[in-house]
Each structure stands twice: as structure tokens, then as C-alpha cells.
Amino acid sequence: MTERRVNSKMLLVGSMPADSAEGAFRAGAELFGDLAFALPDGETGPMGGWVSYERERLIRPSEDVVVISETPSPTGLPRHAYETPVFSVREGVERVRFGNWPRIDVAISSYQLFKELRDAGVIPGHLRFQIGLPFPSSAMNAFKADFANDYPRAEAGYEDLIARELPRLFDSIPPEDLAIQWDCAYETQDIEGVLAWTNEGAWERFAGPVTRLTGLIPQETLVGYHLCYGTFPEWPMYEARDYQVLVRMANFAVSESGRTVDWLHLAGPRYLRSEDRSFFRPLMDLEPGSARVFLGIVLPLDGEPGVKLRHATASRYLEDFGVAMYCGFGRQPGEDPAETLREHARVIRSV
């Protein structure tokens, strides 16, 4: 078996309650520098709405896309699914064409700041720069008007974009300094059959990109999969019956990605099911290979007592794992974002 390259106790999933990338880096380095293997830029500002960034900065500007309907949010960022725009592919277009990927521009800019802070000793030298990239079903989830016809054409264009923009990323950031996480939230819900607008073929919408996209990333770069059910607006959007679907997805990702998978993040249950052994039992079937497993069993609702309960239950079925927040927590900062970060560090250290 390939030697495991990630051995840390925790994973910072992505978004963080910070005002800027510099704020996220400084807080992350101070509070989690000895616990994590990589630091994200916190996905602050316009990126705070996760794939709403793709909707507004990537999809809406495309000449191949038309807006069918939208209900503007008074905050500027959608707070509920019904406040997101609904897109359709323009008639006659076989494959949507996208320009440059704005998320890559942000990553390149954030890395320069990351490197400056690391060179100055603010960020520990062992930490990599972490980027979260939405997987296709998550990024293209707003093609709801005629999903069967529109999604394949939008998804094909998105895969073209990834293949074109990843080399630009690696030209600007050394591959050995990167940790890339595929963010999959709508993929999981699609496979569970709870999305109202999708049709048959949910597994292929996840499995196909696994086999086509992950192998485009150089072996020097660490790669992980974040598998959860989203937090838009509640935690989670959908609560699974158990870990069965996430384990199946994780096993496929490890075996079929065409390169090493370095970590797996599997979101856990809501707090009321902390001691539900039936939820955790499918972890016995997990085959992570050399990937480090992080269970998303830290919740903002119940802190240290809750994570200890879930950790104890999970330990019956999985011997070795790290922990993480259920999802990114930039949209759940509480009254004091700095205190939210300190509390997260305290809870992580408690287990």
C-alpha cells in the first residue's frame, strides 16, 4: 500500500468565519497550525456562498446560458434554495463554453499571501495551501428548468473548463505546495434521490468525473474528497439514514481516481443521532487505502459533549480517523467569529 501522506488530527473543510483571506490564514495558523496539514483561505467575501460564486461569476456571464427565473436575496447572497437563479442552456448550444475560472484567479492570489505569511513565519512551514473545487453536480446545480437536456451540456463545458484551468493553477502554484479538495454536496443528495429536479443517472454524475478529472492533478499535489449533504441553510440540508452512501462514494473515489487519494471527509449525523450505532456501522466497509479519514462529527450545536459521543460511537467501527466540522463553517459564525474559531480549536483538542 502507498505510504500515507496525510496524518493530521483535523481537517479544515474550507470556509471559515473570517473577514478576509489574511484573517483566515492568521487565525488558522495560530489555532490549528499544529493540528492540520493544510490551510484554506476561508472562502471569504463573494466566495462565502460556496457555489453561488460559480453561478454568478462563471455561469451567468456565459453567452451560452440564459436565466429562466430568480428571486433576489436582500443580502446579495442566496439564503435558501428558492433564492438561487435557475439557468438553461441557450437553444442550439451543444456544449456550454465558459471563460476563465474565477475561483482559480482567487486561489492564485490567495497563495501569494499564503506564501508571504509562511515566509514570514506566521504560517508553519509544514502546511500546504488548500483549495476546494466544486465537483460538477454541485457547481452546475442551478440547471433545473430542463435538467435532462441542460445538465449534460453544462457539465461537459465545466469538465472542459477544469481540464483547461488546472494547468494554469499549477503554472502559478508549485504542485507540491497544494492540497486540492473536491467538494461534493449535491452529488450525495443526488445519489440519495432527494433532489426534486434530477433524473436517473445520479451515480454516473459522480463516478464519471471521478475517473476523468482527478487524474489531471499531479501526484505531487495532495487530493481529497469532501462528501457531505450541505448546510444550506440548515445543518444538514438532508440527514442520511446512515453512512452507506458516503462509504460507497469514498471507496469508489479511492479505487477509481487514477491517482492517490490522500484524504476523505465524510460528514456525520445530526446531534440527536450521536449514539446511533446503525448510522456509523457502514464504516466497517470503508476501504480508505492510504487516505486519511476525517469524520465530520463536529457540530456547532453541541460542542465538546456531542463530538465526544459521536467519536465514541464511530470508534466502534473505524479504528483510526481524524475529525472535522460537518462542513465549512463560514456561514455559521455566531455572534463573534473569532470566538467561533477559538471554540472550534478547543473542541477539536478535546478529542
Q: What's residue 235's pLDDT?
A: 67
- Its pTM stands at 0.96
Binned average pLDDT, 10 residues per bin, the chain of 351 residues: 91 95 97 98 92 94 93 67 86 96 98 98 98 98 94 98 98 98 96 92 98 98 96 76 98 98 96 95 98 95 93 97 94 78 92 87
Tens digits of residue pLDDT in 159-210: 999 999 999 999 999 999 999 999 999 999 999 999 989 999 999 999 999 9
Q: What's residue 333's pLDDT?
A: 63
Q: What's residue 234's pLDDT?
A: 67
Q: What's residue 269's pLDDT?
A: 94
Q: What's residue 49's pLDDT?
A: 86
Tens digits of residue pLDDT in 213-245: 999 999 999 999 999 998 876 667 778 999 999
In order of their start, the domains of the chain are: 10-350 (3.20.20.210)
Cβ-Cβ contacts under 8 Å for 90 (sequence gap 6 or more): 63, 64, 65, 66
